[in-house]
Amino acid sequence: MVRSFFVPREASLEADAAVALAELESRAFPNAPNGYTPKGSNCPSPRPSIRSASALSNNETSWLEKRRNNTVAPMQDLLGRLNIAGFDAVSYISNHKTNASALPNIAIAASGGGYRACLNGGGAIQAFDSREENSSAAGHLGGLLQSATYLAGLSGGGWLVGSIYVNNFTSISGLLNTNSGSVWEFENSIFEGPATSKFQVFSSAEYFDNIYKEVGDKSYAGFNTSITDYWGRALSYQLVNASDGGPAYTWSSIQLQDSFANADSPMPILVTDARAPGETLIPSNTTVYEFNPFEFGTWDPTTYGFVPLEFLGSNFSGGVLAEDEDCVRGFDNVGYAMGTSSSLFNQFLLQVDTTSIPQVAKTFVTKILGAIGEDNNDIAEYTPNPFYGYHNATSKNAQERSLALVDGGEDLENIPLHPLIQPHRHVDVIFAIDSSADTNNYWPNGTSLVATYQRSLNSSGNLANGTSFPAIPDQNTFVNLGLNTRPTFFGCNSSNTTTIAPLIVYLPNSPYVYQSNVSTFQPSYNTSERNDIVLNGYNVATMGNGSANATWPTCVGCAILSRSLERTNTPVPDVCTQCFQYFCWDGTVNSTNASTPYEPPYKVGPVDKKSGAMRVTRYAVPVLAGYLAIVAATMTL
């Protein structure tokens, strides 16, 4: 019997619609005091200040006490279904449920890569979500999301994470549902604006006028603006299920949601890079910042501090907020946060004259570029700099009144692993979803893992900060050994790292049932394309629901348990030993340059949805001509 690799969801769309609508009725709160424009008010007591990154925040510590306990039941259910022969996983978790340090600590990371990353990563999250239809069947991995402690996103992966959480930790099916108008309606590009039936706008001109006015109001209130303000507002129309894209919705309001406050969902994290004065290209030793629902800041010894996210726009100096300074709220707009993590797409706006978009969009972009000026056309500007005068001896930005932030993948670390390998978070295993476009035709080749590994080797003390990362081979080895076409484990032998590093379960985008290697900068997708990329991502995460490798679900369970078994001195089950022999990178290197263009074959085969038969045609990948040279000059997505 051949196991099905096509996820059967279509038959119950009407039933799913009611669930999806219920999920979307309650979401992150529009708690900014003045719409998109930040506004000062009286400060709470004690007054907010910058804290050292020497430990987790009190808020995160308290939240973790609830979250780790809440992962016990879903982890028992998941591991109990994954058929780890000769090992009673349910009893193992039950026996250690009162000791969080013994339990597996799971994280998920979704890479950048535009809409391709948002949709491919969405397919993986759908596969991990026990709320999705059929996700708990044989060969599936539903429940992994409910078992995870952290979910990090960057750039396009940040759109995915942000859209899930700002819409009340909804499911991917909830975002895709078309019965009453889906949230993810990408058929109209960001340069056309949403369908008029979805929001209260009547034309592209009105859409752009609304955005221009909102950003203008922020500027008139005395806050510096950049092109990322416009980009973030436009993104919100596609990702936030609220009137006018939710201009008053903030990232810090996620902590007010019942699903997050009760620790029923993982902690969402966005990643962005700092750009030091005078820099154009972002170096590998740049300072990496994160947004979580409680704070914004960095673990890097350069700045080594966090600001309460709710008061991000306040005028801190030397780590404190003077008595005569207001506490500004509303600066952490969700679209601005997601836009900051994906600011490389600002470069697309700069090339507007070379693209086939509506004239009204070209007029709009020309107008805002003229208003902003060339100095601010490729960054997100955080003024006032919350870390002004903080760690002057080590931070390149400490004496800058404005903190310039850019796309989180511009240092080549396109998978947001940085916040998940911090020792204070004690993560055991990271499921790293890689939707990068590293090769000649937009498939990943491990570049992001290589960059994170090289950063971990920094010996000057200003990068590693106690973090450890498994050894990673070069990109040619990834391609030559096929490590970028199937799941691979890195770090199976924890004794090879100076401190115990998380096990990395690498999940590279690869054609299972669809050629999902669309251009990073393709601006629109019809419903069929959108759904097919999500479906392929589901199959990447499940290896075709086990059809490409029947041992995969079991081996996922072994990966989850690996570090926990070490800590509790529990013998590794024989089936797990076999899993590690197959899926772990064994140190073999083949650095030979490929002589032919990289063209991975289907892992399972394309599906004709009408007949269920296999198709042999390839999907033509659209490319925005002339643009990739610009991208190559800055980073690989």
User: Residue 538 belongs to a domain with what CATH number?
Assistant: 3.40.1090.10
Please say if the pLDDT value at position 507 is more than 70: yes
pLDDT-derived band at 173 (thresholds 50, 70, 90) equals very high
First-last CA distance in the chain = 39
Q: What pLDDT, on a 0 to 100 scale, did the predictor assign at position 416? A: 98
Q: What pLDDT, on a 0 to 100 scale, did the predictor assign at position 626? A: 29
Is residue 368 one of the residues assigned to a domain?
yes
Q: What pLDDT, on a 0 to 100 scale, did the predictor assign at position 172? A: 97
Please say if the pLDDT value at position 2 is more than 60: no
* Domain total of the chain: 1
Please say if the pLDDT value at position 218 is more than 80: yes
Please say if the pLDDT value at position 243 is more than 80: yes
Is residue 591 one of the residues assigned to a domain?
yes
Phi, psi for 488 (deg, rounded to 5): -135, 140
Q: What pLDDT, on a 0 to 100 scale, did the predictor assign at position 442? A: 95
Of the chain, the percentage scoring pLDDT greater than 70 comes to 83
Is residue 4 one of the residues assigned to a domain?
no
Q: Write the pLDDT tens digit of every residue in 607-627.
A: 665 544 333 332 222 223 222
Q: Which of 369, 345, 17 is nearest to 159 (CA)?
A: 345
Is residue 305 one of the residues assigned to a domain?
yes
pLDDT-derived band at 465 (thresholds 50, 70, 90) equals confident
Q: Write the pLDDT tens digit of every residue in 509-548.
A: 999 999 999 988 888 899 999 999 999 999 999 999 999 9
Is residue 637 one of the residues assigned to a domain?
no
Q: How many other CB atoms sit within 10 Å of the CB of residue 196?
A: 14
Q: What pLDDT, on a 0 to 100 scale, did the predictor assign at position 208? A: 86
User: Which is higher by pLDDT, 203 or 530?
Assistant: 530
Q: What pLDDT, on a 0 to 100 scale, did the predictor assign at position 48? A: 97
CA distance 126 to 177: 13
- Mean of all residue pLDDT scores within the chain: 86
Q: Write the pLDDT tens digit of every residue in 335-350.
A: 999 999 887 665 555 5
Q: What pLDDT, on a 0 to 100 scale, did the predictor assign at position 608? A: 61
- Give Dmax (Cα) for the chain: 73
Please say if the pLDDT value at position 592 is more than 90: yes
Q: What pLDDT, on a 0 to 100 scale, did the predictor assign at position 498? A: 64
pLDDT-derived band at 14 (thresholds 50, 70, 90) equals very low
Q: What pLDDT, on a 0 to 100 scale, did the predictor assign at position 281? A: 73
Mean pLDDT of 61-82: 97
Mean pLDDT of 141-155: 98
Is residue 149 one of the residues assigned to a domain?
yes
Mean pLDDT of 47-65: 97
For the record, the structure tokens of 351 come out as 């090339």
Mean pLDDT of 381-401: 95
Mean pLDDT of 16-35: 59
Question: What is the three-class DSSP state of 114?
Answer: helix
Mean pLDDT of 132-148: 95
Q: What pLDDT, on a 0 to 100 scale, did the predictor assign at position 291? A: 98
Phi, psi for 345 (deg, rounded to 5): -70, -10
Q: What pLDDT, on a 0 to 100 scale, did the predictor assign at position 598? A: 87
Please say if the pLDDT value at position 26 is more than 50: no
Q: Which of 444, 486, 488 is nearest to 470 (CA)?
A: 488
Domain span including residue 574: 10-632
State the sign of the Cα–Cα–Cα–Cα dihedral 375, 376, 377, 379: positive
pLDDT-derived band at 128 (thresholds 50, 70, 90) equals very high
Q: What pLDDT, on a 0 to 100 scale, did the predictor assign at position 452? A: 95
Q: Write the pLDDT tens digit of every residue in 348-389.
A: 555 555 556 677 777 777 776 666 555 555 689 999 999 999
Mean pLDDT of 19-29: 45
Question: What is the three-class DSSP state of 108?
Answer: strand
Q: Write the pLDDT tens digit of every residue in 246-289.
A: 999 999 999 999 999 999 999 999 999 999 887 777 888 899 99
CA distance 327 to 48: 8
CA distance 546 to 559: 16
Q: What pLDDT, on a 0 to 100 scale, did the predictor assign at position 344? A: 65
CA 529 to chain centre: 21
Give residue for tokens 């250690």. Answer: 96
Is residue 1 one of the residues assigned to a domain?
no
Q: What pLDDT, on a 0 to 100 scale, did the predictor assign at position 594? A: 77
pLDDT-derived band at 196 (thresholds 50, 70, 90) equals low
CA distance 58 to 49: 14
Q: What pLDDT, on a 0 to 100 scale, did the predictor assign at position 631? A: 32
User: Which is higher by pLDDT, 292 or 378?
Assistant: 292
CA distance 554 to 138: 11
Burial class (CB within 10 angstroms; exposed 0-12, middle 13-18, buried 19+) of 211: buried
Model confidence, pTM: 0.90
CA distance 229 to 59: 29
Burial class (CB within 10 angstroms; exposed 0-12, middle 13-18, buried 19+) of 431: buried
Q: What pLDDT, on a 0 to 100 scale, did the predictor assign at position 613? A: 38
Please say if the pLDDT value at position 3 is more than 50: no
Question: What is the three-class DSSP state of 291?
Answer: strand
Q: What pLDDT, on a 0 to 100 scale, did the predictor assign at position 377? A: 55
Give residue for tokens 């979307």. Answer: 24
